[in-house]
A and B are shown apart, each in its own frame.
Chain A
Amino acid sequence: MATSNIHKWASLPDPSPAELARAAEGDAQAFKLILERYQGMVYSVAYNVLGNHTDAEDAAQEAFLRCYRKLPQFRSEATFSTWLFRLALTASVDYKRRERRHPEPVETPEMAAEAAPQLGEGVDAATIVAALHDLPDDYRVPTVLRDVYGLPYQEIAAATGRPLGTVKVMVHRGRASLRLKLRAEGAGPEQGPAGARPRSDT
């Protein structure tokens, strides 16, 4: 049932084989074109996994450095964007394991294109950012990997180095916590008549 955003990124036009070959040979200008095209995708992944701008920038930079080093190993069985997306996820999760989080006040990041998009009934970007920001790291990372990016549980367990059962429990708790936070914000569907809590107008 999981919808994977990998498919969304896979729809980005890939660099041509000639562009990739030049970048793999160390042509800085060719690599810069790739960087400019995919910076938003890689930065978004890093921000969603790490939850703050300072760490996201470091991890996104690390992802592009890994991309540069591994370009000669890229094979066209996968699309380039899917390959880079996986590199960005791995770099971000590795960064999470290695580094201490830089505490930052919650601040809605700027979008590359549209402003203040609605993500559902009564849910806007600021609501989601604040709710994710408040989640403990142990819940946020697996929940983001599962429900923001649609990764299978097995892959999340491998990426985070946690047992499969633990990952599932963390995702379930993350969802429960987000549900309560969004409900408190007055977002989400209308409650049923029994046990319903009135929606806030804020």
Chain B
Amino acid sequence: MDCSYFRERINLYIDGEMGYLEVAELQSHLSFCPDCAAELAEVGEVRSALAAWGRLELATPPGFVERVMAAVEVEPAPGSPKPFGQAVDDTLQKLDDTLGRIPLPGGRTIPVKNVIGWGLAAAAVAIGLGRRHGRRARELTPL
């Protein structure tokens, strides 16, 4: 087997997503292939550097606390009844969280609630058209 087969598996190995047999096969290849071993070491270094970066605490911009407090002070107290618009936003967000999203080609997604909403709107239009058609048919039917 050539190296491309093993290189495709280095990330799976790093993420602990390989079975025992695959791990043994990869480790055996790494023991005599310095190129693949170097690539594994480099990806490991990248991950270590990213994890170390994530442990650092960045300084906030000057005036950050004051700006957040100014926004907090115009908020209603926590737990008090929400303004209508915010209650609607929260409900829509909860619907998104509960129903999830549908994957589309190209890696995009669409909220399930939107699909349901369009379906309901289409059903309402179909019912309206059906009733109109029925009424029209009755009007045209000779007595």
Contacts and interface: CB of A to CB of B under 8 A. Distances in A.
Contact of B67 (A32, A61, A71): A61
User: A interface, how many residues as a size bin?
Assistant: 35 or more
Contact of A120 (B48, B61, B68): B48
Given A28-B73, A117-B56, A196 B38 contact: yes
Among B38, B68, B101, the one with the most A-chain Cβ atoms within 10 Å of its Cβ is: B68
A77 interface: no
A57 B59 CA distance: 11
A101 interface: no
A78 interface: no
Contact of B51 (A44, A150, A194): A150
Interface string A56-79: 010011001100111110000000
Contacts, number: 178
B21 to A, nearest CB: 18
B47 A192 contact: no
Given A26-B78, A189-B42, A31 B58 contact: no
A150 B43 CA distance: 15
Contact of B54 (A5, A60, A158, A187): A5
A183 B42 contact: yes
A30 B52 CA distance: 32
B81 interface: no
A147 B79 contact: no
A72 B79 CA distance: 6
Interface in A98-121: 109-114, 117, 119-121
A166 B106 CA distance: 10
B24 interface: no
A120 B45 contact: yes
Given A1-B16, A65-B71, A128-B50, A57 B77 contact: no
Contacts of A71: 78
Nearest to A118: B52
Contacts of A69: 75, 78
A198 interface: no
Given A28-B72, A28-B73, A192-B35, A179 B58 contact: no
Given A47-B58, A175-B11, A179-B42, A39 B65 contact: yes
Given A111-B58, A179-B42, A182-B42, 11 more contacts: A26-B80, A41-B57, A57-B61, A60-B64, A144-B50, A148-B51, A150-B54, A153-B15, A179-B39, A179-B46, A191-B38
- Closest CB pairs A-B (n = 6): A26-B77, A192-B34, A40-B57, A148-B54, A192-B38, A112-B57
